[in-house]
Amino acid sequence: MSDSVFLAGDENWWRQAVVYQVYPRSFKDSNGDGLGDIKGITSKVDYIAELGVDAIWLSPFYPSALADGGYDVADYRDVDPKLGSLADFDEMIKAYHSKGIRVFVDVVPNHSSDLHVWFQEALASEPGSAARDRYIFRDGKGENGELAPNDWPSHFGPTAWTRTTNPDGTPGQWYLHLFAPEQPDFNWDNQEVIDDFKKTMRFWSDRGVDGFRIDVAHALKKDMSEPYPYIENYDVKHIPLDGSHHLFDRDDVMEIYRGWREIFNSYDPPRVAVAEAWVPAARRPRYASPETLGQAFNFDLLAAPWSARKFKKSIEFNLDLSEKSGSSSTWVLSNHDVIRHATRYGLPKKTDYEKWVMTDGTSPELDRELGLSRARAATMLVLALPGSTYMYQGEELGLFEVADLPGQVLQDPIWLRDGKTRKGRDGCRVPLPWEKGGSSFGFGTGSAHLPQPAWFAGYSVEFEEAQEDSTLKLYRAALKLRKELLTDENLEFVDSKRKVVHFVRPNGWHNITNFGKKPIALPAGSVQLTSAPLVDGKLPGNATAWITE
């Protein structure tokens, strides 16, 4: 492999990076089979470079039966043949590095796919065998082991246990899966599991990968001793601050990450990682410490309503928190697991989004104009904050959630496993519209694996390229300007009206976001960019302005 695969440079590049999440199967299909692929990602390097982000993060592209959109990994060190090959991956990384864009991959260490060779081997082996010890197998309760070992729920449905069938056809032991039955949980007390993931980290780091997004980083270590506690649900609210939960955020999970840190630091520049850890905020710094993963997602804004007070509180709190860990904060408005932010902000406060999707997005009615103006304003706001921003493919087009996908096309295990009572996350995973027309709006040459709505035409890259005030143009302008204005990781809030968030960075870069309805006067200075046109020199409601002194 040639040296040009590697991108050298400042070891702190990640601290204020803008990372663009690619959901590979829905990004760009290069061979017309309806699924996005690695070559498709490579083909869009100019688009990503022009957008102006610092890095891309690829959701899983590994061999997978797609029981959970690829988060069921059958082989951690290969590319799904449906998406390409390792050679395609190497080419992709070269293409992105040649433009100075870094690459993150997603590592899923809590569980594998049930098709992973280790799980298949475990199924074919005896209870108590070394092969079974890599996962969490237990005998059932009841006279003949016919009852699950306990009543823990799965994230996707009623139970976290599935019974196996022995090679001779008789019912066997049960195994734990905190997600779908096709996602058996690993036993992280097993040395082979520990060693194998280290191998995976080296494998991708050697191929030039710059960073890792660690899936469900809080769940790896478990206390499986009996008596099992009663666990009603997996709400973060129920995770205590002392590391004593049986399944989540146990103190010793850090041992794993300290081991990975040694590997990350053996590269130049050190590889970086960001934890997806659904833990109480006060525990987040443990994952974000320079001795462990180095950074952790702050998902607080995913849950925050459109409110100046809530945004300000969350910003203050998280900047404080990241200082404690020595890391930088992360800001997230959308990802592949949540309702797109242009939609969230266009629905009345307190809307239950899951229920709304079940009405095909008809009740309550979505105010698209309002949602999009707020989304544009929110994006500018987070881009002005110290720390890094993780954005999700399609948000740069101002895409809304596709809420009216019919039941028969849904792929999310939430829909399939929870009695079809929740549609799940497919609505933000619909393949991107690159062109105004064609069988899949330029996603591929055939149809797309999830149907795209007709309104995608007006949100396609081709359409937005031609509109001066499009969301795509706003993202490009904001990202370009941000690079010029970026300064050290400090900010000061400026006294402002109740419905306004006004802060200034040390170099005099002001961000003013008007969360209210009425236009507001702007402070003196030079207006660099606004998310909506000024009205008689004033900043309209639901808009952001950047001003320099």
The answer to whether 110 and 219 are in contact (CB under 8 A) is: yes
Tell whether residue 108 is a contact of ligand GLC (CB under 6 A).
Answer: yes
**Min dist. Cβ of residue 59 to ligand GLC (A):** 8
Smaller CB separation from ligand GLC, 134 or 417: 417
Smaller CB separation from ligand GLC, 215 or 401: 215
**Min dist. Cβ of residue 147 to ligand GLC (A):** 26
Q: Which two tokens stand for residue 244?
A: 């004593």
**Min dist. Cβ of residue 276 to ligand GLC (A):** 6
Q: Mark 361-383 as b/e (b = at least 16 C-beta within 10 Å).
A: beeeebeeebbbbbbbbbbbbbb
Smaller CB separation from ligand GLC, 299 or 356: 299
Smaller CB separation from ligand GLC, 297 or 456: 297
Residues in binding contact with ligand GLC, number by CB under 6 A: 9
Dihedral, CA of residue 482, residue 270, residue 71 and residue 77, to nearest 10:
130
C-beta atoms surrounding 164 within 10 Å: 17
Among 158, 157, 138, 164, which residue's Cα sits nearest to residue 149? 138
**Min dist. Cβ of residue 69 to ligand GLC (A):** 6
C-beta atoms surrounding 29 within 10 Å: 27
Query: Which residues, in sequence order, are CB contacts of 253 under 8 Å at separation 6+?
Result: 188, 217, 218, 219, 220, 221
* Among 29, 37, 54, 68, interactor with ligand GLC by CB under 6 A: 68
Smaller CB separation from ligand GLC, 337 or 418: 337
Among 56, 58, 29, which residue's Cα sits nearest to residue 45? 56
Smaller CB separation from ligand GLC, 62 or 509: 62
Tell whether residue 71 is a contact of ligand GLC (CB under 6 A).
Answer: yes
Query: Per CB under 6 A, which of residues 334..373 are in contact with ligand GLC?
Result: 336-337
Smaller CB separation from ligand GLC, 37 or 276: 276
Query: Per CB under 6 A, which of residues 77..106 are in contact with ligand GLC?
Result: none
* Among 215, 249, 396, 401, interactor with ligand GLC by CB under 6 A: 215
Smaller CB separation from ligand GLC, 218 or 502: 218
* Among 45, 79, 214, 216, interactor with ligand GLC by CB under 6 A: 216
Tell whether residue 395 is a contact of ligand GLC (CB under 6 A).
Answer: no
**Min dist. Cβ of residue 26 to ligand GLC (A):** 13
**Min dist. Cβ of residue 521 to ligand GLC (A):** 42
Strands 18-22 and 55-58: parallel
Within its chain, how far is the Cα of 147 from the centroid?
35
**Min dist. Cβ of residue 542 to ligand GLC (A):** 29
Tell whether residue 426 is a contact of ligand GLC (CB under 6 A).
Answer: no
Tell whether residue 54 is a contact of ligand GLC (CB under 6 A).
Answer: no
The answer to whether 24 and 429 are in contact (CB under 8 A) is: no
**Min dist. Cβ of residue 108 to ligand GLC (A):** 5
Among 400, 392, 408, which residue's Cα sits nearest to residue 450? 408
**Min dist. Cβ of residue 412 to ligand GLC (A):** 8
Among 240, 330, 331, 251, which residue's Cα sits nearest to residue 292? 251
Query: Per CB under 6 A, which of residues 276..335 are in contact with ligand GLC?
Result: 276
Element (H, E) at 547: strand 543-548
Cα angle: 34, vertex 37, 38; to 5 degrees:
170
**Min dist. Cβ of residue 207 to ligand GLC (A):** 22
The answer to whether 321 and 296 are in contact (CB under 8 A) is: no
Query: Which residues, in sequence order, are CB contacts of 206 under 8 Å at separation 6+?
Result: 1
Q: In what order do the strands lie in the sheet with 272-275?
A: 272-275, 211-214, 102-107, 55-58, 18-22, 388-392, 330-332
Smaller CB separation from ligand GLC, 6 or 118: 118
**Min dist. Cβ of residue 418 to ligand GLC (A):** 13
**Min dist. Cβ of residue 72 to ligand GLC (A):** 7
Query: Per CB under 6 A, which of residues 243..282 are in contact with ligand GLC?
Result: 276
Distance CA 313, CA 311 (A): 5
Smaller CB separation from ligand GLC, 93 or 428: 428
Tell me the residue nearest to ligand GLC as measured from the CB: 71
C-beta atoms surrounding 237 within 10 Å: 7
Smaller CB separation from ligand GLC, 216 or 481: 216
Smaller CB separation from ligand GLC, 13 or 299: 299
The answer to whether 134 and 190 are in contact (CB under 8 A) is: yes
* Among 96, 137, 179, 459, interactor with ligand GLC by CB under 6 A: 179
SS3 state of residue 527: strand
Binding site for ligand GLC (CB under 6 A): 68, 71, 108, 179, 215-216, 276, 336-337
